[in-house]
Chains A and B, each alone.
Chain A
Amino acid sequence: MSNRFIIWFNDYRPADRPRIGGKNAGLGEMINADLPVPPGFAITTDGFENIRNHPRTVEEVRALLATVEFGDPAGVRGISREVRSLIESVPMAADLEDAVRSAYAELCSRCNQEDVPVAVRSSATAEDLPDASFAGQQDTFLWVRGATSVIEHVKRCWSSLFTDRAMAYRHEMGYDHQVVSMSVAVQQMVDPKSAGVAFTLDPATGDRSQVAVESSWGLGEAVVSGEVTPDNFLVDKVILEIHSRTISPKHTELVMRADGDGVEWHEVGATRQQSPSVSDAELLEITRMAKAAERYFGSPQDIEWAVDRHLPEGRNVVMLQSRPETVWSRKAPRSVSEPSSGFMDSIVSTLLSPIHTRDPVSADDEEA
Chain B
Amino acid sequence: MAKRFPSPFEAETPPGAEGWQDLYTYSLPFSEDRRDYEEATFWFQDSIHWAEPLTPWDATWYEYAIAALSQYNTRHYLIPPALGIDYRVLNGYAYLTPVPVLDGAEIEARVPQFMERAGFYFMNWGDLYDKWLVKMKDLIAEMEAISFSPLPEKEDLEVITEGRGTGSGLTIQEEYRGLLNLGLKLWHYHFEFLNLGYAAYLDYFGFCKQAFPNIPDLAIARMVAGVEVDLFRPDEELKTLAGIVVDNGLEDQLEGGLSALEGTPFMDHWNSVKHPWFNYSAGNGFYHSDKVWIEHPEIPLGFVAGYVERIKAGEDISRPIERIRTERDRIVDEYTALLSSDEDREAFQGKLGLARVVFPYVENHNFYVEHWSHSVMFRKMKELGDVFVKEGFLASRDDVFYMKRDEVNEALWDMYSAWAVGTHPRGPAYWPREVTRRRGIVDALRQWSPPPALGEPPEVVTEPFTIMLWGITSESIGMWLGAGDDADGGLRGFAASPGVAEGPARVIMSADDIGQLQEGEILVAPITAPSWAPAFGTIGAAVTDIGGMMSHAAIVCREYGLPAVTGTAFGTRDIETGTMLRVDGSSGTVTVLD
In whole angstroms, how far apart are the Cα atoms of A236 and B215 in the complex?
7
Interface string of A231-242 (1 = CB under 8 A from B): 000101111011
Whether A335 contacts B340 in the complex (CB less than 8 A), given A355-B202, A355-B205, comes out as: yes
In the complex, which range does the number of interface residues on chain B fall in? 35 or more
A347 within 8 A of B: yes
Say which one of A3-11, A36-44, A170-178, A337-345 lies at the interface with B. Answer: A337-345
Q: Smallest distance from the beta carbon of A294 to chain B beta carbons, Å? A: 10
A205 within 8 A of B: yes
Contact B107–A352 (Cβ < 8 Å)? yes
Contact A354–B498 (Cβ < 8 Å)? no
Selected contact of B216 from candidates A236, A333, A348, A352, CB within 8 Å: A236
Selected contact of A335 from candidates B118, B205, B344, CB within 8 Å: B344
Question: What are 12 A-B pairs with beta-carbon distances under 8 A?
Answer: A208-B338, A236-B214, A239-B218, A243-B216, A243-B586, A335-B344, A336-B211, A351-B82, A352-B81, A355-B209, A356-B467, A357-B460
Whether A241 contacts B340 in the complex (CB less than 8 A), given A346-B203, A356-B473, comes out as: no
A179 within 8 A of B: no
A55 within 8 A of B: no
Q: A237-B334, A337-B346, A348-B111 are known contacts; what are 8 more A-B pairs with Cβ within 8 Å?
A: A209-B214, A210-B212, A238-B335, A244-B587, A347-B200, A356-B467, A357-B460, A357-B461
In whole angstroms, how far apart are the Cα atoms of A202 and B498 in the complex?
20
In whole angstroms, how far apart are the Cα atoms of A348 and B112 in the complex?
10
Contact A244–B202 (Cβ < 8 Å)? no
Q: Smallest distance from the beta carbon of B211 to chain A beta carbons, Å? A: 5
B126 within 8 A of A: no
In whole angstroms, how far apart are the Cα atoms of A361 and B468 in the complex?
21
Contact A337–B498 (Cβ < 8 Å)? no
Q: Which 6 A-B pairs have the closest CB atoms?
A: A337-B347, A333-B340, A209-B212, A355-B206, A350-B203, A336-B210
Selected contact of A354 from candidates B216, B347, B462, B586, CB within 8 Å: B462
Interface string of B139-167 (1 = CB under 8 A from A): 00000000000000000000000000000
A266 within 8 A of B: no
B331 within 8 A of A: yes
Q: Smallest distance from the beta carbon of B583 to chain A beta carbons, Å? A: 15
In whole angstroms, how far apart are the Cα atoms of A203 and B165 in the complex?
82
Whether A243 contacts B214 in the complex (CB less than 8 A), given A238-B331, A344-B119, comes out as: yes
With CB as the reference atom, state the residue of chain B lying closest to A336.
B210
A353 within 8 A of B: yes
Contact A348–B114 (Cβ < 8 Å)? yes
B residues within 8 A CB of A354?
A: 202, 206, 462, 464, 467-468
A14 within 8 A of B: no
B residues within 8 A CB of A337?
A: 207, 341, 343-344, 346-348
In whole angstroms, how far apart are the Cα atoms of A355 and B498 in the complex?
22
Q: Smallest distance from the beta carbon of A332 to chain B beta carbons, Å? A: 9
Binding site for B on A (CB under 8 A): 202, 205, 207-210, 234, 236-239, 241-245, 333-339, 343-348, 350-357, 360-361
A residues within 8 A CB of B107?
A: 352
B residues within 8 A CB of A338?
A: 347
In whole angstroms, how far apart are the Cα atoms of A31 and B214 in the complex?
31
B515 within 8 A of A: no
Q: Smallest distance from the beta carbon of A291 to chain B beta carbons, Å? A: 9
A residues within 8 A CB of B461?
A: 356-357
Interface centre among A210, A237, A243, A351 (most CB of B within 10 A): A351
B residues within 8 A CB of A334?
A: 340
Interface string of B53-97 (1 = CB under 8 A from A): 000000000000000000000000001111000000000000000
Whether A207 contacts B214 in the complex (CB less than 8 A), given A243-B495, A344-B115, comes out as: yes
Contact B587–A347 (Cβ < 8 Å)? no
B213 within 8 A of A: yes
In whole angstroms, how far apart are the Cα atoms of A56 and B80 in the complex?
83
With CB as the reference atom, state the residue of chain A lying closest to B211.
A336
B420 within 8 A of A: no
Contact B498–A243 (Cβ < 8 Å)? yes
B residues within 8 A CB of A355?
A: 202, 205-206, 209-210
B474 within 8 A of A: yes
Selected contact of A348 from candidates B115, B212, B346, CB within 8 Å: B115
B219 within 8 A of A: yes
With CB as the reference atom, state the residue of chain A lying closest to B500.
A280
Selected contact of A333 from candidates B122, B341, B468, CB within 8 Å: B341
In whole angstroms, how far apart are the Cα atoms of A194 and B219 in the complex?
30
Contact B335–A353 (Cβ < 8 Å)? no
B351 within 8 A of A: yes
Whether A353 contacts B115 in the complex (CB less than 8 A), given A202-B214, A334-B340, A346-B203, comes out as: no
Contact B219–A351 (Cβ < 8 Å)? no
Selected contact of A239 from candidates B200, B203, B219, B460, CB within 8 Å: B219
Contact B335–A241 (Cβ < 8 Å)? no
Selected contact of B213 from candidates A237, A346, A360, CB within 8 Å: A360
Chain B contacts with A in 196-235, Cβ cutoff 8 A: 199-200, 202-203, 205-207, 209-216, 218-219, 222
Q: Smallest distance from the beta carbon of B143 to chain A beta carbons, Å? A: 34
Q: Smallest distance from the beta carbon of A358 to chain B beta carbons, Å? A: 8
In whole angstroms, how far apart are the Cα atoms of A212 and B119 in the complex?
41
In whole angstroms, how far apart are the Cα atoms of A352 and B206 in the complex?
12
Contact B122–A344 (Cβ < 8 Å)? yes
Q: Smallest distance from the beta carbon of A357 to chain B beta carbons, Å? A: 5
With CB as the reference atom, state the residue of chain B lying closest to A351.
B464
B residues within 8 A CB of A356?
A: 461, 467, 473-475
B residues within 8 A CB of A239?
A: 216, 218-219, 222, 331
Interface centre among A234, A338, A348 (most CB of B within 10 A): A348
A residues within 8 A CB of B206?
A: 350, 354-355
Contact A351–B347 (Cβ < 8 Å)? no
A residues within 8 A CB of B482?
A: none
Whether A335 contacts B341 in the complex (CB less than 8 A), given A209-B335, A241-B216, A344-B115, comes out as: yes
In whole angstroms, how far apart are the Cα atoms of A4 and B206 in the complex?
57
B564 within 8 A of A: no
B residues within 8 A CB of A336?
A: 207, 210-211, 344, 347
Interface centre among B79, B81, B206, B218 (most CB of A within 10 A): B206
Q: Smallest distance from the beta carbon of B145 to chain A beta carbons, Å? A: 39
Selected contact of A351 from candidates B81, B213, B338, B348, CB within 8 Å: B81
B residues within 8 A CB of A347?
A: 118, 122, 199-200, 203
Contact A353–B340 (Cβ < 8 Å)? no
Contact A236–B219 (Cβ < 8 Å)? yes
In whole angstroms, how far apart are the Cα atoms of A119 and B203 in the complex?
52
B440 within 8 A of A: no
With CB as the reference atom, state the residue of chain B lying closest to A200.
B338
Interface centre among A205, A241, A339, A345 (most CB of B within 10 A): A241
B350 within 8 A of A: yes
With CB as the reference atom, state the residue of chain B lying closest to A347.
B203
Selected contact of B464 from candidates A207, A245, A346, A350, CB within 8 Å: A350
In whole angstroms, how far apart are the Cα atoms of A355 and B351 in the complex?
15
With CB as the reference atom, state the residue of chain B lying closest to A346.
B203
B354 within 8 A of A: yes
In whole angstroms, how far apart are the Cα atoms of A333 and B345 in the complex?
13
With CB as the reference atom, state the residue of chain B lying closest to A238.
B334
Contact A351–B199 (Cβ < 8 Å)? yes
Contact A343–B351 (Cβ < 8 Å)? yes
With CB as the reference atom, state the residue of chain A lying closest to B344.
A337
Q: Smallest distance from the beta carbon of B529 to chain A beta carbons, Å? A: 25
With CB as the reference atom, state the residue of chain B lying closest to A239.
B219
Q: Smallest distance from the beta carbon of A324 to chain B beta carbons, Å? A: 16
Whether A238 contacts B199 in the complex (CB less than 8 A), given A351-B464, A357-B460, comes out as: no
A residues within 8 A CB of B586?
A: 241-243, 245
In whole angstroms, how far apart are the Cα atoms of A180 and B346 in the complex?
46
Whether A352 contacts B80 in the complex (CB less than 8 A), given A333-B341, A344-B119, comes out as: yes
Contact B213–A245 (Cβ < 8 Å)? no
In whole angstroms, how far apart are the Cα atoms of A202 and B212 in the complex?
9
B residues within 8 A CB of A346?
A: 203, 207, 351
